[in-house]
Amino acid sequence: MKEKIWKQISEVRTKSPLVHNITNYVVMNNTANALLAAGASPVMAHAQAEVQDMVNIAGALIVNIGTLDEYWVESMELAAGRAKEQAKPWVLDPVGAGATPFRNQVLQSLLKLQPSVIRGNASEIMAITNVPGGTKGVDSIHESVDAVSSAKHLNQQTGSVVCVSGAADIIIHESRVVKLSNGDPLMSKVTGLGCTASALIGAFVAVNPADPFLATVSAMAFLGVAGELAARKSAGPGSLQLNLLDVLYSLPQEEFMSVIRIEEKNEE
Ligand SMILES: Nc1ncnc2c1ncn2[C@@H]1O[C@H](COP(=O)(O)OP(=O)(O)OP(=O)(O)O)[C@@H](O)[C@H]1O
Ligand SMILES: Cc1ncsc1CCO
Ligand SMILES: [Mg+2]
């Protein structure tokens, strides 16, 4: 599996897919920079007059509801609807799911448009499946393992690959489960690294639309390993944000292979 993952990372670097993001104001800059550092080509666009045309030319779409409003929701539905029509991969980041009824309603309507991948933190994944317990705005108050049964349920209900992020990143599709244990606690002190994860999943699913599970595992492994290595040389969140871009840009294969911690299970 590690070799297959590295192949995906190389393909993103060489193929440089166009990734269309409808994302939040907080993270537009860091996610665009992370996509560029990984080798992809980002575009942020949310005007209703152009989102469908942008989906037509992009390799994948990311819909992130971080700072949504009514206009943006219509843009998201138009874009995701076009992606569904064209069988083009799209990734849903359910930022703040469970925090307000508005977010929950929007998510239920976006789920009908069949995202290829859903990536959220544990509280968000639990909230989408109506598990009571709450959320603290956009930050998780649960551990990834708490959300595994919700993630399995969500995968069965939607057919989407589901990724729960946090100290462990858990990726679920049908009988397959992968657990990645990279990253660093300092990563939760930089805003939007979950959003960055979702954006990277978009780049990976654009180069491998036939296998969104492998694409998601690869993107999460890449971010986790890069974040862990970047944290080792960072004094705090400020330098981590910068160092992460440098490591995404230049991470060599040998270092990736020696740092990745991955466990696979097939529950058939
Ligand atoms: N405690 C931790 N230990 C190790 N790595 C972590 C930890 N917390 C987060 N990470 C890393 O940060 C990545 C982003 O995950 P996180 O679950 O914090 O996203 P999020 O809550 O959606 O963030 P945001 O909403 O700010 O984008 C994870 O995939 C993981 O690599
Ligand atoms: C802090 C914050 N608020 C809405 S979106 C966002 C970025 C992290 O999800
Ligand atoms: Mg998030």
Task: Tell me the per-residue pLDDT of 152-187, one tens digit each, with 9 for 90 and over.
Answer: 999 999 999 999 999 999 999 999 999 999 999 999
- pTM for this predicted structure: 0.97
Cβ of residue 98 lying under 6 Å from some atom of ligand 2: no
- Report the DSSP pairing between strands 90-93 and 161-165: unpaired
What pLDDT is recorded for position 174?
Answer: 96
**Tokens 């550092």 identify what position?**
37
Q: How far apart are CA 120 and CA 193, in angstroms?
A: 11
Cα–Cα nearest to 78, from 47, 102, 107: 47
Task: Report residues whose beta carbon is within 6 angstroms of any ligand 1 atom.
Answer: 95, 121, 138-140, 165-167, 169, 183-185, 187-188, 191-195, 197, 220, 223-224, 227
Q: Which amino acid is at 246?
A: D
Domains of the chain (ranges; CATH) run 2-266 (3.40.1190.20)
Cα–Cα nearest to 194, from 171, 218, 163: 163
Write the pLDDT tens digit of every residue in 20-43.
999 999 999 999 999 999 999 999
CB-based burial of residue 266 (10 Å sphere; 0-12 exposed, 13-18 middle, 19+ buried)? exposed
- Tell me: pLDDT of 135 over 90: no
Q: How far apart are CA 107 and CA 115, in angstroms?
A: 11
Q: Which amino acid is at 257?
A: M
Distance 163 CA to ligand 1 centre (A): 12
Torsion angle of the four alpha carbons 261, 262, 263, 265, in this order, in degrees rounded to the nearest 10: 180
Is 76 part of any known ligand binding site? no
CA 180 to the chain's CA centroid = 14
The H or E element containing residue 158 is helix 148-158
What pLDDT is recorded for position 134?
Answer: 64
CB-based burial of residue 76 (10 Å sphere; 0-12 exposed, 13-18 middle, 19+ buried)? buried
CB-based burial of residue 79 (10 Å sphere; 0-12 exposed, 13-18 middle, 19+ buried)? buried
Cβ of residue 120 lying under 6 Å from some atom of ligand 2: no
User: Tell me, what's the ipTM?
Assistant: 0.97
- Rounded to 5 degrees, φ, ψ at 216 are -70, -45
Cα–Cα nearest to 59, from 217, 202, 248, 267: 202
List all residues 6 or more positions away from 121 whose beta carbon is below 8 Å from its beta carbon: 139, 140, 142, 144, 164, 165, 166, 194
Is 181 part of any known ligand binding site? no
CB-based burial of residue 3 (10 Å sphere; 0-12 exposed, 13-18 middle, 19+ buried)? exposed
**Tokens 């138009």 identify what position?**
78
Averaged pLDDT, 58-87: 98
Distance 86 CA to ligand 3 centre (A): 27
Write the pLDDT tens digit of every residue in 215-235.
999 999 999 999 999 999 999
* Region for 39 from its dihedrals, namely left if φ exceeds 0, alpha if ψ lies in -120 to 50, beta otherwise: left
- Tell me: pLDDT of 105 over 70: yes
What pLDDT is recorded for position 141?
Answer: 82
